[in-house]
Amino acid sequence: MPYTAPSRELLQHLEKARSVVVLTGAGVSAESGIPTFRGQGGLWREFRPEELATAAAFEQRPKLVWEWYMWRRQLVAQAEPNPGHFALAALETKYSEFTLVTQNVDGLHMRAGSRNVIELHGNIMRSRCHECGSPAGEAALDKDGQLPACECGGLIRPDVIWFGELLPPEALKRAWEASAHAEVFLSIGTSSAVQPAAGLADMAKRAGAYLVEVNPDTTEMSDRFDEVLRGPSGAILPTLCEELRLNFSRAPMFAV
Ligand code: OAD
């Protein structure tokens, strides 16, 4: 797929910056074989969010919700980070302040070696109690369809944020603080349709950051960015690393 090369202006901003914030969404994992939510092949074309990704859905039909998450867990377990994930891990090594805020729940950034990662929407491989919130490791629906339960008597659920739920306050605060100090803000593989994540770009803009979008398609927010790089992140981000003469590796750079 053809893609836009980074401008000289962007490279200069990235050379000069001390503080960089990256926001990623499902598109960054698309080349790892994990479906996005919106657009062609997106999960929300096939499934209804209100039946699968809300607290009410879980309370009414916990087994159905768990089955959907077990299917998604399997996709994530089989997936590998792609060159876009590895390029972001390489970019991080250049900066003293680098924050990767992700809406993704697949853990692929950490598996690629990214270190300062804020998971705004949780992590699909972890579980927690729906009642008391206690962490529950990787507890899951068992092969006989038995629902996992907590010592408190509550049902255990995937440790992800559902529609209508508040984001973890500490994670959100860190994401806001980083965005309010960003000199360059990259929004990668997200439709920018879901708040509060989408609002981080506006916050960075107000702080004077140079705003860049990486996406093969136009989004609701494309016209707010200083620069738009059209194309897949798995091609654009490695090119960016090469232009910055960063040692870009396809293998994990740090022990996780
Ligand atoms: P979306 O599915 O809304 O958007 C994915 C974006 O990735 C789209 O804009 C695509 O054009 C773009 N894209 C597709 N392939 C790409 C590629 N190879 N490289 C770069 N970009 C590509 O996913 P999110 O924006 O992450 O929340 O969605 C935000 C939230 O909405 C999710 O975290 C999830 C969802 O409902 C919850 O479940 C709470």
CATH 3.40.50.1220 fits 1-33+81-121+167-256, yes or no: yes
Q: Is 53 in the pocket of ligand 1 (CB under 6 A)?
A: yes
Q: Kindly give the distance from the C-alpha atom of residue 192 to the centroid of ligand 1, in angstroms, as a whole number.
A: 8
Structure confidence by residue, pLDDT tens digits, 160-180? 999 999 999 999 999 999 999
CATH of the domain spanning 35-78+123-160, picked from 3.30.43.10, 3.30.390.10, 1.20.90.10, 3.30.1600.10: 3.30.1600.10
Q: Kindly give the distance from the C-alpha atom of residue 155 to the centroid of ligand 1, in angstroms, as a whole number.
A: 29
Cite the active site residues: 121
Query: Which residues, 6 or more positions from 216, have their beta carbon under 8 angstroms from its beta carbon?
Result: 1, 3, 27, 230, 231, 232
148 contacts 127 by C-beta, under 8 angstroms: yes
Each domain of the chain, given as residue ranges in start order, spans 1-33+81-121+167-256, 35-78+123-160
Ligand 1 atom having least distance to the Cα of 214: 20
Give the closest residue (by CA) to ligand 1 atom 37.
Answer: 162
Question: By three-state DSSP, how is residue 176 classified?
Answer: helix
Structure tokens belonging to residue 101: 């805020």
Instruction: Band the pLDDT of 256: cuts 50, 70, 90.
Output: very low
Q: Is 190 in the pocket of ligand 1 (CB under 6 A)?
A: yes
Strand segments, DSSP code E, in the chain are: 19-24, 97-102, 117-119, 122-129, 156-160, 184-188, 210-214, 227-229
Q: Is 114 in the pocket of ligand 1 (CB under 6 A)?
A: no
pTM exceeds cut of 0.85: yes
Q: Kindly give the distance from the C-alpha atom of residue 132 to the centroid of ligand 1, in angstroms, as a whole number.
A: 30
| Helical (H) or strand (E) element with 43 | helix 43-46
Beta bridge partners of 143: none
Question: Mean pLDDT, to the nearest integer, of 81-110?
Answer: 98
Closest CA to 187 of 165, 172, 202: 202
Q: Is 239 in the pocket of ligand 1 (CB under 6 A)?
A: no
Task: Report the amino acid identity of residue 137.
Answer: G
Q: Kindly give the distance from the C-alpha atom of residue 13 to the centroid of ligand 1, in angstroms, as a whole number.
A: 26
Q: Is 189 in the pocket of ligand 1 (CB under 6 A)?
A: yes
Question: By three-state DSSP, how is residue 220 classified?
Answer: coil
Structure tokens belonging to residue 22: 């990256």
State residue 49's pLDDT score: 86
CATH topology agreement for domains 1-33+81-121+167-256 and 35-78+123-160 = no
Question: Mean pLDDT, to the nearest integer, of 211-217?
Answer: 97
Whether residue 254 is predicted with pLDDT greater than 70 in this model: the reply is: no
